[in-house]
Each structure stands twice: as C-alpha cells, then as structure tokens.
C-alpha cells in the first residue's frame, strides 16, 4: 500500500531524531496527530501553509496564553480543524522531575493531541493542538496540578533565564530565582494584555548569555561583576604545561587588552580597569579563571526582531545593579518603563521603537536614570542637538 505521506516519509531517514517519526507514533493514539500529518503533507505538496489567519480563543479570566488555530482544509482533515496551542509556563531553567512531566503528558493526552514543543523559543511548554471545548478543562486540570499558562498577546510574555547557579560556576546572579520571582510578581501583567505590544524579560547569569537575552528580550538582565576576575596561578601553570598557547589564544584575543602573560614564570595577570568582562579567558581556562566576587547584573533594554523598524539588540540602561531578593530595584524600574511605554507607545510599538521615536532623553527622564557614557557606543556624529 502506498503511503499517505510520501514527502514526510523522506524525513524519517537520516541520523537526526525525526519529528515525522514522533508524530506518527502519536498518530496511533490521537486522531488529531494523524490529521496533523495529513495537513503537513498537504503543505509540503502545495508549499503553502494550510492554517487560516488568526484565531482568538482563551480561558476564563485570562486574555492570553492560548493561540487559536484552524486549518483551511477541514473537509479533508476534520480532526485538525481546531488546532489550538496552549502555552504552559515552564519551571525556571527547565528543570523537571519525571513526575511533573508525566502529569503534563497525562493531561495533554486526555485533553489534546499529545503533541508538544519542548520548548517554545520564549521558554514555555507548548501543548500543540486541541479543540476550543477542551481549553477550559485542560486549563482547570493544569492549574489543579500546579501549572499555569504562559503569556501571549500584548502582555508580559513568559520570562525565562539560563540554568544559572543550579549548575554553572560562572553564574553571577541567581537567574532561575530572579525569573521565578518576576514571573510571580507580574502574573497580572502576564495573563491580562494591557500594553501597546508584547514585552519580554530574560536573564542570563553571565555575559555568555545562554538564553540570548540580549537579542530576544525587551528587558535584558545579564550577570556581571565589578571587581577583578580571580586567577588561580597554579591552574594557569597546569594549562601552560599541557601546551595551551596562552599568549596567542587568551592574551592576544582579549578585547580590552587587559591581560599580561609572563611566559617564563607562567604567570597571568590582569588589569581590572581594562577588563570588559567578555568571558573569553574564563571560557578558555575554566579551571584557572573565575568571575569576580562582587557580582550583580547589567540591565539592557530594547531587544527585538525586525518588524517594524529593524532588529535591535538590547542596549545598556544600567551598567551595574545588585541583584538580590526581593529585587525591588529591578521591579521598580520595570514598572516605570511600563508606565511610560503604556502612556506613550503606539499600537503595536515595541519599547525600542517607542524610545527610538521619542528619544532616549525623554525615556531616561521618565524612568529616573541619568544619561551616562556606558549607554552609547559612540557620541552622536550630527549637530542637531535639542536643548
């Protein structure tokens, strides 16, 4: 018998784990997963999507968390007619017990297709594909078991952070705890869209930025330190004796030219005032160099994708801030930012675009920050200065 999905079947070949295999395995249990394969095969044939525009569904009390989706070929694949996605807030750092995962799986097999994304790029557990009448029961069971929905729409989206001190020796802040705390504090902002557009928070515990906070969050928290890196000279010697080319691979590549290496004595030294905390030497000599002791974070603002006015990486707003529970300073800053943006932002204008339109000067005044050199890469080159 010829296969119903000849194009997708090709993607079961090759060494990488195949999503087609996964969906087929679910298709045995779930008619929704089976019809999803049909819709996807049709899209592979036609080279266009077969999902209709938009979709507004939800659960009582929340304005977001569920993304409605309908296929435009329901006559062929009736089980995929409604294919809504539920975003479920993940635990900080994506640490699970099997018990927690089994709970989610049981709920989702009962109320949905059994298909998931682990995880959506914002961080949520994504439950893929269910019907409108299953949303409320699924939500009720999830919350009874301690899970809540994530964010969607013009709201605070699910904050996420790197694993931090849970298992990384470079963590300068407790990113999982900070993310958890912010998520709990701003539940209302997360579940009930009220702003001009979406707003994302991400926290990385060091400048390696393992959650790409600088590129994928409007409000970026990146761990750093303000004293000196700590060098263990005995470990440096060991790296040298094992043949690491410290001179060329570490010292010559230091962007701040802050390192000096005495090859004879096998001694590495640093000029802390020139160190840009780029993490290169630390990442290369993990056993010999550590971040400083006086840790905190840099706060940056404005990261976003291209639409409408071009892509932005977040830029520096606060060069150094202590990050300690209950994180009052960070929360107050966030609230000031939201107040200003909500008041002045146009419909569907990200914070970076609002700042770009109205000027950094007004924004800084509104959030009670003084302009400082660290906020800019270089001073303006034109003379059109407003007084």
Partner 1 sequence: MASINLHGNSYEVDEDGFLQEPDKWTEDVAKAMAEMEGITDLNETHWKVMNYLRDYFKQNGIAPMVRKLTKDTGVNLKEMYELFPQGPANSACKWAGLPKPTGCV
Applying CB under 8 A, does 68 fall inside the site for partner 1? yes
Quote the least distance from Cβ 69 to partner 1, whole Å.
10
User: Count of CB atoms within 10 A of residue 30's CB?
Assistant: 20
Applying CB under 8 A, does 194 fall inside the site for partner 1? yes
* Binding string, residues 79-108; x marks residues near partner 1 by CB under 8 A: ---x--------------------------
- For residue 308, say if its preceding peptide bond is cis, omega within 30 degrees of 0: yes
| Size of interface with partner 1, in residues (CB under 8 A) | 32
Quote the least distance from Cβ 59 to partner 1, whole Å.
7
Applying CB under 8 A, does 76 fall inside the site for partner 1? no
CA 363 – CA 353 distance, rounded (Å): 12
- Output 55 or 137, the one with its CB closest to partner 1: 55
CA 84 – CA 112 distance, rounded (Å): 9
For residue 294, CA distances in Å to 28, 172, 180, 290 come to 55, 9, 23, 12
- On the CB side of 143, CA atoms within 13 Å amount to 12
Piece of the chain touching partner 1 by CB under 8 A; list 61-69, 160-168, 226-234, 281-289? 61-69
Applying CB under 8 A, does 61 fall inside the site for partner 1? yes
Applying CB under 8 A, does 192 fall inside the site for partner 1? yes
Q: Binding partner 1 by CB under 8 A: which of 20, 23, 40, 57?
A: 57
Q: Is the dihedral of CA 253, 258, 264, 266 positive or negative?
A: negative
Strand, helix or coil for residue 184 = helix
Quote the least distance from Cβ 60 to partner 1, whole Å.
4
Among 298, 293, 330, 335, smallest CA distance to 316 is for: 298
The partner residues of 223 in beta bridges, in order of sequence, read: 297
Provide the token pair at 173: 């802040």
Q: Binding partner 1 by CB under 8 A: which of 91, 193, 272, 356?
A: 193
Applying CB under 8 A, does 64 fall inside the site for partner 1? yes
Residue 231 contacts residue 239 (beta carbons within 8 Å):
no
- Residues in region 299-358 near partner 1 by CB under 8 A: 342-343, 347-348
Applying CB under 8 A, does 59 fall inside the site for partner 1? yes
Residue 268 contacts residue 231 (beta carbons within 8 Å):
yes
Cβ-proximal residues to 86 (8 Å cutoff; 6+ apart), any chain: 65, 66, 112, 126, 127, 130, 135, 138, 139, 142, 149
Q: Binding partner 1 by CB under 8 A: which of 55, 137, 256, 319?
A: 55
Provide the token pair at 384: 């059109």
Quote the least distance from Cβ 62 to partner 1, whole Å.
7
Among 228, 285, 235, 238, smallest CA distance to 258 is for: 228
Piece of the chain touching partner 1 by CB under 8 A; list 3-11, 28-36, 194-202, 258-266? 194-202
Quote the least distance from Cβ 195 to partner 1, whole Å.
7
Piece of the chain touching partner 1 by CB under 8 A; list 39-47, 173-181, 191-199, 274-282? 191-199
Applying CB under 8 A, does 241 fall inside the site for partner 1? no
Piece of the chain touching partner 1 by CB under 8 A; list 64-72, 86-94, 162-170, 361-369? 64-72
Piece of the chain touching partner 1 by CB under 8 A; list 10-18, 46-54, 213-221, 235-243? 46-54
Quote the least distance from Cβ 30 to partner 1, whole Å.
21
Residue 95 contacts residue 57 (beta carbons within 8 Å):
no
Quote the least distance from Cβ 92 to partner 1, whole Å.
24
- Output 103 or 136, the one with its CB closest to partner 1: 136
Task: Find tokens 């395995």 and name the residue.
Answer: 25
Applying CB under 8 A, does 154 fall inside the site for partner 1? yes
Quote the least distance from Cβ 189 to partner 1, whole Å.
10
Residue 172 contacts residue 224 (beta carbons within 8 Å):
yes
Applying CB under 8 A, does 190 fall inside the site for partner 1? no
CA 300 – CA 220 distance, rounded (Å): 5
Residues at the interface with partner 1 (CB under 8 A): 52-64, 67-68, 70, 82, 132, 152-154, 188, 192-196, 198, 342-343, 347-348
């Amino acid at each position: 018998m010829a296969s119903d999905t000849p194009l997708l079947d090709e993607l079961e070949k090759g060494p990488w784990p195949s999503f087609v295999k996964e969906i087929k395995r679910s298709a045995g249990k779930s008619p929704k997963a089976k019809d999803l394969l049909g819709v996807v095969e049709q899209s592979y044939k036609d080279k266009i999507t077969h999902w209709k525009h938009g979709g507004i569904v939800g659960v009582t009390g929340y304005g977001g968390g569920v993304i409605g989706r309908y296929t435009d070929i329901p006559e062929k694949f009736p089980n995929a007619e409604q294919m809504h996605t539920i975003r479920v807030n993940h635990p900080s750092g994506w640490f699970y017990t099997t018990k927690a995962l089994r709970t989610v799986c049981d709920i989702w097999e009962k109320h949905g297709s059994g298909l998931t994304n682990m995880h959506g790029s914002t961080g949520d557990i994504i439950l893929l594909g269910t019907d409108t009448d299953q949303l409320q029961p699924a939500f009720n069971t999830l919350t009874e078991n301690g899970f809540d929905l994530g964010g969607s729409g013009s709201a605070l989206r699910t904050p996420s952070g790197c694993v931090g001190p849970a298992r990384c020796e470079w963590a300068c802040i407790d990113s999982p705890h900070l993310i958890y705390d912010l998520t709990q504090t701003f539940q209302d902002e997360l579940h009930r869209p009220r702003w001009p557009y979406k707003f994302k928070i991400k926290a990385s515990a060091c400048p390696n930025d393992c959650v790409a906070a600088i590129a994928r969050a409007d409000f970026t928290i990146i761990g750093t330190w303000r004293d000196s890196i700590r060098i263990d000279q005995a470990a440096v010697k060991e790296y040298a004796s094992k043949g690491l080319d410290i001179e060329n691979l570490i010292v010559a590549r230091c962007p701040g030219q802050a390192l000096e290496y005495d090859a004879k004595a096998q001694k590495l030294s640093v000029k802390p005032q020139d160190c840009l905390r780029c993490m290169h030497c630390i990442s290369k000599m993990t056993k010999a160099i550590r971040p400083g002791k006086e840790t905190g974070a840099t706060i940056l603002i404005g990261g976003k994708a291209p639409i409408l006015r071009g892509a932005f990486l977040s830029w520096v707003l606060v060069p150094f801030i202590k990050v300690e529970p209950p994180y009052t300073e960070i929360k107050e800053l966030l609230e000031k930012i939201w107040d200003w943006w909500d008041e002045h932002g146009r419909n569907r204008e990200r914070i970076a675009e609002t700042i770009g339109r109205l000027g950094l000067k007004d924004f800084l005044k509104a959030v009670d920050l003084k302009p400082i050199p660290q906020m800019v890469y270089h001073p303006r080159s034109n003379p059109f200065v407003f007084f």
